[in-house]
Structure 1
Amino acid sequence: MKEEQRFGIMKKYVNWVLDIVLGVLALLILIFMIRQLIDIGTFINKPMTPKNLSIVMQEVVAFFMLFEFIMMVIRYIQEGHHIPIRYLILICITAILRQLMVLHGDAVQTLLLSVSILSLVIVLFVLNLSGNKSYVGFKPHTDDRQEIK
């Protein structure tokens, strides 16, 4: 019993330190997001040439990637240090879609990215069919014997 108590206390402290480190990481990402917004603002004020438009698109994609990282850190802390698999699959799909937005000219790469999106959507469909809800944020079930009195 004492080992379980020590493990529980150690887990509490490790989670506390992890939350602090993740908070610092989120703060750093926010600083980089502000920097990205400033960069986007400076490129928007320049004349819109195809090169400048491409740079603005890359900056916008980078901004949303940073935004997604912050949302993932927040979700990780909210879910009790767990990220549901469904959430990770959706992040992958949106990242591939962003890559498709900035990709120009390479038909084979476009086709491969499209096939990867299709395969991820199929995985989501299969997870929904399986009826296993553990991928949406599994919470441990209480012992049924304790509920019977």
Structure 2
Amino acid sequence: MFKTYEKVLYSIVNIFLFILALLIIAYMARDLIGAFNLIMAPNDQRTLEDISGYILSFFMLFEFIVMIVKYIEDAHDIPIKYLVIISITAILRQLLVVHNDGLQTLLLTISTLILAGVLYLLELSKKKRNEDKK
């Protein structure tokens, strides 16, 4: 009985994830069109920050799609390591866009350092677990 409910719930989750993926793809298309229009605009109407904002937004949405696919492939489970890596890349992208505010840059750098430390600790614990199994 429990397996039946579990299958139904996973089916519902997959349907909602599919709808979410379609919405993200539509938003990605909108960002791509916006970036294209901005690039083709006369030089006085575009700035590098606007163009990079569209491009970075596009790639963040692309990562969401990849994360949804990874979630479904891994039997509805995302490893914490994968989430930490995605967080680090998102923060690094934000650093590319926001580089004129010193305090925000410092905080983003510190958060990247903390996440790198978490990634290191995750690898250490994985290594220790593998040694304990042997």
TM-score, normalised by the number of residues in structure 2: 0.88
1:53-72 deviation digits (Å, cap 9, x = unpaired): 21111111111111111111
Q: Sequence identity, in percent?
A: 46
Q: Show the counterpart of 1:25.
A: 20
2:75 aligns to what SS in structure 1? coil
Structure 1 segments of 4 or more deviating over 6 A? none
Match of 1:37 among 32, 36, 45: 32
Stretches of structure 2 that go unaligned for 5 or more consecutive residues are: 130-134
- The residue aligned with 2:93 is 98
Query: Which consecutive unaligned segments of at least 5 residues does structure 1 have?
Result: 1-5, 135-149
Mapping of 1:3-22 within 5 angstroms?
6-22=1-17
* Aligned-CA RMSD value: 1.8
Deviations 1:43-102 (A, max 9, x none): 001234585221111111111111111111111111111111001001110110011000
Specify the alignment match of 1:74 in structure 2: 69
Q: Whole-Å Cα distance in 1 between the matches of residues 82 and 51 of structure 2?
A: 28
In the alignment, what sits opposite 1:138? Answer: none
Structure with bigger helix share is 2
Higher relative contact order (CA 8 A, sep 6+): 1
1:129 aligns with 2:93: no
